[in-house]
């Protein structure tokens, strides 16, 4: 019995020594942003009014280096064709956006409902991985008309299906 206790203690001590240093608890705050994206498209002059709120968590490694930022985002927006005054509600949206900082360079992973146009069949939903340095979509699962339009150079172009 004494041998089992000594052996158990030795195993526990070696496991404790082998554990990596614990990282600090994530930092949490809230974000809010109102933004207007406006510009010409093939379907007219569009205006996208974005009203975003989110709970942001920042994760650090044991050396205090930022390794991940996660934001649970909710939005309630409008998209308007300024040439025709036609307006759609875009939202409510609800998705998780995670920014990772690997050695190869940062990545943004968005998962969930990132755009939901009321009264139309236009949704940007699923999972998408983007290189924020180039704007290139690295991986996609689901439908992402706005992310694809953004990659092509004009996110507003993704809304033109509404106004055709």
Strand stretches in the chain, DSSP E: 27-41, 44-60, 66-81, 86-100, 107-117, 122-130, 137-143
Q: How far lies 28's CA from each of 12, 25, 108, in Å?
A: 33, 9, 19
pLDDT tens for each residue of 122-160 = 999 999 999 999 999 999 999 999 999 999 999 999 999
A 10 A CB-CB count for 155 gives: 21
Domain ranges of the chain: 21-163
The answer on pLDDT for 99 being more than 60 is yes
Closest-CA residue to 82 (of 124, 31, 48) = 48
Q: Is the pTM of this model over 0.85?
A: no
Contact 156, 48 (CB under 8 A): yes
Specify the pLDDT at position 164.
81
Q: How far lies 105's CA from each of 42, 56, 122, 145, in Å?
A: 34, 21, 32, 25
């Amino acid at each position: 019995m004494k041998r089992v206790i000594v052996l158990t203690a030795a195993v526990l001590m070696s496991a404790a020594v082998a554990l990596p240093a614990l990282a600090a608890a994530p930092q949490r705050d809230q974000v809010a942003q109102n933004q207007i994206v406006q510009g010409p498209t093939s379907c007219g002059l569009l205006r996208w009014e974005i009203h975003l709120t989110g709970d942001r968590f920042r994760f650090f490694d044991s050396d205090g280096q930022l390794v991940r930022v996660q934001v649970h985002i909710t939005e309630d927006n409008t998209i308007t064709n300024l040439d025709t005054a036609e307006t759609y509600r875009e939202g409510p949206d609800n998705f998780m956006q995670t920014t990772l900082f690997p050695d190869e360079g940062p990545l943004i992973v968005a998962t969930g409902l990132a755009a939901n146009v009321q009264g139309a069949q236009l949704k940007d939903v699923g999972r998408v991985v983007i290189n924020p340095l180039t704007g290139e979509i690295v991986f996609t699962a689901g439908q992402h008309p706005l992310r694809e339009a953004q990659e092509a150079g004009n996110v507003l172009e993704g809304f033109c299906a509404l106004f055709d």
